[in-house]
A and B are shown apart, each in its own frame.
Chain A
Amino acid sequence: MRLSRRRTLTLGMAGAAIAVLPVRGHATAPQTDDLIARFTGGARTVSGQLTLTLPSVATNGASVNVSVDCPDAVAIRLIATANPTPEVFTVAFSPLAGSQRISTRIRLAESQEVIALARMPDGSFAEARAHVSVTTSGFT
């Protein structure tokens, strides 16, 4: 491909824009979208079956109680959209799992939206979101 002067300028500007974007220290929306897409394969998600339990205010971001519960799900992914590494965990349930629920404690870097996704046995996907206000960052 030959680069015309105009094309070179356009590429240069696009490159500059991309170089500037990642300066934000946390996950950008494309990163979250990508994490969702890699789990769902781009399928539509529905809300309702999946319960995401989080406090609305977390004074200590280093340890925030979270619980996800989605009857019959085969897998659940949790995404903390503004963490340095947004993927918190992905759990796969086998038939011997007595429920499709798991509770743990997570780190949150700042106030943010947390997203839970569940893959259902029929190939559909469920989604739940919660906003948490964080007083002290869990990443220091």
Chain B
Amino acid sequence: MNDIDARSRIRVPSHAARDEVVQIRTSITHPMENGARVSPDGTPVPRRIINRFICTFNDQRVLDMDIGPGVSANPFLEFDARVPASGRFYFEWQDDSGAVYRDSASIEVS
């Protein structure tokens, strides 16, 4: 299967106070092909979506999301995380083909 040029964008503050709640925004370029479309030549376009998103801080889970074809192309998410210490947020997007896309950002607690 030809691969998708899935480019992620994340927005995480660089600094926070201990236990501060920060807003995180993520998006990834992905067609979220819902499996219901038919191409112009009449053949069905197979489903290929991001079906799971996981956010972790260091080795602790923040949130885990099961995603269906009802989420728009280039899935965008905005959520909050508590920052217990300096460390790194890890983001993981899994798609139907088995491809896993990753990104991360560090945050400094002062």
Please list the residues of chain A having a beta carbon within 8 angstroms of any beta carbon in chain B: 62-64, 78, 80, 83-99, 101-108, 138-140
CB distance from B60 to the nearest CB of A (A): 5
CB distance from A103 to the nearest CB of B (A): 4
CB distance from A63 to the nearest CB of B (A): 5
Q: Determine the chain A residues whose CB is within 8 A of the CB of B57 once the complex forms.
A: 96
Q: Let me know if B70 and A85 touch, CB within 8 A.
A: yes
- Chain B, interface size category, equals 20 to 34
Is the contact region of chain B dominated by helix, strand, or loop, or is it mixed? strand
Please list the residues of chain B having a beta carbon within 8 angstroms of any beta carbon in chain A: 21-23, 34, 36-37, 57, 60-73, 75-82, 84
CB distance from A130 to the nearest CB of B (A): 15
Inter-chain contact total with CB atoms closer than 8 Å = 102
Query: CA–CA, A55 to B80, complex, Å?
Result: 22
Q: Determine the chain A residues whose CB is within 8 A of the CB of B65 once the complex forms.
A: 89-92, 102
- Complex partner residue of B72 from A87, A91, A107, CB under 8 angstroms: A107
Q: Let me know if B71 and A105 touch, CB within 8 A.
A: yes
Q: Determine the chain A residues whose CB is within 8 A of the CB of B34 once the complex forms.
A: 84-85, 107, 139
Question: 7 pairs across A/B with beta carbons < 8 Å?
Answer: A85-B69, A86-B70, A89-B68, A89-B70, A91-B63, A97-B82, A107-B71
Inter-chain pairs besides A89-B67, A102-B65, 17 sampled, C-beta below 8 Å: A63-B72, A84-B34, A90-B65, A91-B64, A92-B65, A94-B62, A96-B60, A96-B81, A97-B82, A98-B22, A98-B79, A99-B79, A103-B79, A104-B78, A105-B75, A106-B70, A107-B34
